A = this chain, B = another copy of it.
């Protein structure tokens, strides 16, 4: 049945896809709000408005729910990367990526997972979509990091992998939440502060 589809089947598939989109959106929000451990499957089902058993027809486990949300997040990130003009210097694109990350985070839409959870970890490692998405993202960022180092814009003494990890870490930087709950700074302020400390460091220049 390759390349054959009736309108009815397509419609059904669209409905299915739409529901899964809603599920993933809810999971994404809950992962951003309370994290993987505090998020319960009952909660997800209730928020989506379907029975828990129905949820398990779409995703075989809680870990797979989280994985689907992470795949979606990676797609959003990759999509944003593609929107950046090739005319910009690599260092500027990297700054823009971090800014975008902080924006998503401040909007409460950045899912974050505990790096210690082993069952979650193995699910992610065996998820091809996730691993491929992560590799694609890392390759692209890695390329820009190399370019920025060659151009003398990024510290050449830092291994590219360390730079990459440091950029990724902005997606779960607790400084953002701390400053936000402090209430003394606007979102724009927070982004500026974190961007400054990330790229320029704490020391005076």
Interface residues of A (CB under 8 A from B): 33-35, 37-38, 91, 114-117, 152-159, 161-163, 165-169, 172-175, 177-179, 182, 184-185, 193, 196-205
Contacts and interface: CB of A to CB of B under 8 A. Distances in A.
27 contacts: A34-B116, A35-B114, A37-B114, A38-B114, A152-B204, A153-B203, A153-B204, A154-B204, A155-B197, A155-B201, A155-B202, A155-B204, A158-B196, A158-B202, A159-B193, A161-B179, A162-B175, A163-B197, A163-B202, A165-B174, A165-B178, A165-B179, A166-B197, A169-B174, A200-B201, A201-B203, A205-B205
A36 to B, nearest CB: 9
B165 A175 contact: yes
Contacts of A167: 202
Give the top 7 A-B pairs by smallest Cβ distance, nearest first: A201-B201, A37-B37, A200-B201, A165-B175, A199-B203, A165-B178, A162-B193
A68 to B, nearest CB: 21
Contacts of A179: 161-162, 165
Given A35-B114, A155-B203, A201-B198, A172 B174 contact: yes
A115 to B, nearest CB: 6
Contacts of A172: 174
Given A161-B182, A204-B152, A117 B38 contact: yes
A91 B202 CA distance: 10
Given A158-B197, A182-B161, A196-B157, A115 B174 contact: yes
A204 B151 CA distance: 10
A197 B201 contact: yes
Given A34-B116, A162-B175, A200 B169 contact: no
Contact of A199 (B158, B178, B201): B201
A180 to B, nearest CB: 11
